[in-house]
Amino acid sequence: MARPEGGTSKRRGDSTLGLQGRVRIEQITPSVDNGRYAAKAIIGDRVVVEADVFREGHELAAAVVQYRGPSDVEWRSEPLELDVNDRWYGEFLADRIGAWRFRILAWTDHYASWLDGLVKKHAAGVTELDVELEEGARLLERRRGCPDTEKRLAEAARFLRGKPSFLRGQPSLDERVELASDPALLAALAAHPERGDPTLSHELPLWVDREVAQFSAWYEFFPRSEGATKTTSGTFADAAKRLAAIAEMGFDIVYLPPIHPIGRAFRKGRNNTLDPKPTDPGVPWAIGSEDGGHMSIHPDLGTIEDFDEFVAEAGRHELEIALDFAIQVSPDHPWAREHPEWFKHRPDGTIQYAENPPKKYQDIYPVDFDTADYDSLVDELERVVRFWISHGIRFFRVDNPHTKPLPFWEWLISRVHRDHPDALFLSEAFTRPKMMKALAKLGFSQSYTYFAWRNTKKELVDYVTELSQTDTVDYFRPSFWTNTPDILTEYLQLGGPPAFKIRLVLAALLSPAYGIYSGFELYERVPLKPGSEEYLNSEKYQYKPRDWSDPDSLAPFIQKINRIRREHKAFRGLRNLRFHHSDSDQMLCFSKVEPGRTNPVLVVVNLDPDHWRDSLVRLDLPQLGLEDVGPFEAYDLITDRSYIWHGADNYVRLDPAVEPAHVLRLRAL
């Protein structure tokens, strides 16, 4: 019976790793659950592939990574190089968005094995090597390639046998051994490999996104509050006037909470009260009324044509609009009337409203994915996403995805990606770590994190190290949010304006993706009550017009930090983050460098918003590419001040009342 190319008979041993020859292939990375899910990359990435490749005995192996992108028919390949301890590595360019596959092909390299033995014997002083050189000559003569290559290999074989040529007389033993290792000869052999016993690994998936999936600065705001009064809503036309200022601050993504009609049944009033006034607008997440549901615009905001113009205006400012996708309805939503079977019913026949004990959300019905009409339900949800894609939306912030079935998300995202590989999904899941990671594995492009509650030096170092230096980085793209309409941390409540600067610097420079909720630049920090993370007079329940012309606004500082992010490519990555030692528990020091240890940037932050702090920081100079230099410049990109630093240990003093952080561009003098 014929077997596939590169295969082997069962007599020689099977393996779950693929079609096996004599070479063993293990521990391939990037790999998520051994290929069950796709690892993630960004267009333009050099995807680094590693694997353990080895075989029995003293024979040496060779290996390549084979890869295939969207619409590719043939496999392309790049060589793998041996590092240490049988670990091989290589890379390939991900130059298109969409689904990729890659695998490892390895084989016994008989010439390299022969050459290794020859060089060792020669170095040991062995002078009787004619037999060994004859073996090498025969290996060259059997290698197939283009005519020019075969001619060159034949000449090399003649030389190894000690035959004179027209250019020189009979070669010496040293010359023959030297010729066997000639780089040009080795390159010719590498270009025409002899794969007599190929081992082919299983294929692994890779999903490649556009850059904003990893590197993006988000700004969340309620369009109804722009141009509003305390009792009347603003419109998309009013909200469009805010876009220029958002773009000027340096943001990429404008995220809008739900823009759909809002139900009146059980509507919540100001500060989540149960007795709303007629002018209270209701919670945007209570989606649906007689004016429509998930594919409708709240009439106070305007029409679908007004929304289209809002999206177009954002594009003119190089901003992308992200929409909230919340799978829940108000009791007034058309689905509640037309498809009551999509909801869970209590014994008394009423539909079960949402609860997160002790919190009650009487104005919201969750969807029941255990419905007997599951197929119709999920088809409708897919239709919602595709509707907004048809109106220019390519980024969806998904509300509470951890409360919906994981198979549904995997199905939906893969379905959308078939036609729209540029579509992206942000997971808003503040829940158990394994659930958050599972959502990322099955297709979510970006994920909310616990950053808001990581405030101490140890908390930040431990958490960010987990995100950036473990296999989590292959599939989980963190988004660090300083605040949200639901999250006003105690740190911001009590720390005053310095705390806002500190958290902004940490969010924006630790993570390639981060976000703020509007009002952050005005230092909004009054809680509903002590111990609560809810805002007093929360915008979720009322219109909130703001004075954006406040001279004390943090906007200029935000603009500066976002400009630093954009101008220094090191901040576009996460794997390149390293922490450095500081003597103070209140001083956090970390760096990011570009590939090749170039253009290092060092960030030092005083985590104490109330007091100045000082410390010695001890730098890992090799990580920064500065181990062989003398004094070097540390130029502060925030204050435009320059310092001359010497060696690894340097003194830092930061007063949060002045500036709580250094962002230092390091450069050899």
Q: Give the confidence band of 16 by pLDDT, cuts at 50, 70, 90.
A: very low
242 torsion bin: left (phi>0), alpha (psi -120 to 50), beta (else): alpha
> Hey, is 165 helix, strand or coil?
coil
70 cis-preceded (ω within 30 degrees of 0): no
Q: What pTM does this model have? A: 0.93
Q: For the chain, how big is the Rg over CA atoms in Å? A: 31
Helix or strand run (H / E) with residue 173: helix 173-180
Which residues are bridge partners to 366 per DSSP? 328
Q: Which two tokens stand for residue 309?
A: 């113009």
**CA angle in degrees (0–180, nearest 5) for 436-49-621:** 85
Evaluate if residue 99 carries a pLDDT over 70: yes
What is the rounded distance in angstroms from the CA atom of residue 100 to the CA atom of residue 655?
Answer: 49
Evaluate if residue 636 carries a pLDDT over 60: yes
Nearest Cα to Cα of residue 136 among 106, 192, 178: 178
| Weakest-pLDDT range from 150-154, 514-518, 578-582 | 150-154
Per-residue pLDDT, averaged over 294-300, amounts to 98
Per-residue pLDDT, averaged over 317-328, amounts to 98
Does residue 666 contact residue 644 with C-beta atoms inside 8 Å? no
Which residues are bridge partners to 602 per DSSP? 591, 664
The confidence score (pLDDT) of residue 168 equals 61
**CA angle in degrees (0–180, nearest 5) for 616-451-498:** 55
Dihedral of CA 210/211/215/216: which sign?
negative
Residues in the chain, total: 669
Q: Which residues contact 252 (CB under 8 A, 6 or more apart)?
A: 212, 216, 217, 218, 318, 319, 320
Q: Which two tokens stand for residue 617?
A: 């920081």
User: What are the φ and ψ backbone dihedral angles of 98, each rounded to 5 degrees?
Assistant: 130, -160
Please give the residue that has the higher pLDDT: either 49 or 155: 49
The amino acid occupying position 187 is A
Evaluate if residue 564 carries a pLDDT over 50: yes
Out of 209, 428, 474, 659, which one is annotated catalytic?
428
Q: Which residues contact 535 (CB under 8 A, 6 or more apart)?
A: 485, 488, 524, 526, 527, 528
Evaluate if residue 9 carries a pLDDT over 60: no
Task: Tell me, yes or no, if the two domains 10-109+197-208 and 209-262+285-326+373-568 fold the same way.
Answer: no
Evaluate if residue 233 carries a pLDDT over 70: yes
Class of domain 10-109+197-208: mainly beta
Share of the chain above pLDDT 70, in %: 96
Per-residue pLDDT, averaged over 257-264, amounts to 98
Q: Is 95 a residue of the active site?
A: no
Per-residue pLDDT, averaged over 637-659, amounts to 97
The confidence score (pLDDT) of residue 35 equals 97
Question: Any idea which fold 209-262+285-326+373-568 has?
Answer: TIM Barrel (3.20.20)
Instruction: Please report, for the chain, the start and end positions of each structural domain, with discontinuous segments joined by +.
Output: 10-109+197-208, 111-191, 209-262+285-326+373-568, 263-284+328-366, 576-668
HSE toward the beta carbon, residue 418, CA cutoff 13 A? 7
Evaluate if residue 481 carries a pLDDT over 50: yes
Out of 226, 399, 521, 608, which one is annotated catalytic?
399
334 cis-preceded (ω within 30 degrees of 0): no
What is the rounded distance in angstroms from the CA atom of residue 534 to the CA atom of residue 220?
Answer: 16
Helix or strand run (H / E) with residue 642: strand 642-645
Q: Which two tokens stand for residue 232?
A: 């009347």
Beta strand extents in 55-134 (DSSP E only): 61-68, 76-79, 81-82, 87-93, 98-108
Nearest Cα to Cα of residue 467 among 482, 478, 451: 478
pLDDT digits (tens, 9 = 90+) for 190-205: 999 999 899 999 999 9
Superfamily of domain covering 576-668: Golgi alpha-mannosidase II (2.60.40.1180)
Does residue 354 contact residue 384 with C-beta atoms inside 8 Å? no
> Hey, is 606 helix, strand or coil?
strand
Q: Is 594 a residue of the active site?
A: no
Q: Which two tokens stand for residue 5?
A: 């190319």
Does residue 30 contact residue 474 with C-beta atoms inside 8 Å? yes
The confidence score (pLDDT) of residue 523 equals 98
pLDDT digits (tens, 9 = 90+) for 47-98: 999 999 999 998 999 999 999 999 999 999 999 999 999 999 999 999 999 9
Evaluate if residue 8 carries a pLDDT over 60: no
Q: Give the confidence band of 100 by pLDDT, cuts at 50, 70, 90.
A: very high
Query: Is 201 exposed, middle or buried (CB count within 10 Å of its CB: 0-12, 13-18, 19+)?
Result: buried
What is the rounded distance in angstroms from the CA atom of residue 317 to the CA atom of residue 499?
Answer: 30
Class of domain 111-191: mainly alpha
pLDDT digits (tens, 9 = 90+) for 438-474: 999 999 999 999 999 999 999 999 999 999 999 999 9
Q: Give the confidence band of 516 by pLDDT, cuts at 50, 70, 90.
A: very high
User: What are the φ and ψ backbone dihedral angles of 652, each rounded to 5 degrees?
Assistant: -135, 135
The confidence score (pLDDT) of residue 20 equals 60
What is the rounded distance in angstroms from the CA atom of residue 261 to the CA atom of residue 335?
Answer: 13
Per-residue pLDDT, averaged over 162-166, amounts to 73
Provide the H-helix boundaries in 16-146: 110-123, 130-142
pLDDT digits (tens, 9 = 90+) for 421-442: 999 999 999 999 999 999 999 9
Q: Please, what is the average pLDDT of the chain?
A: 94
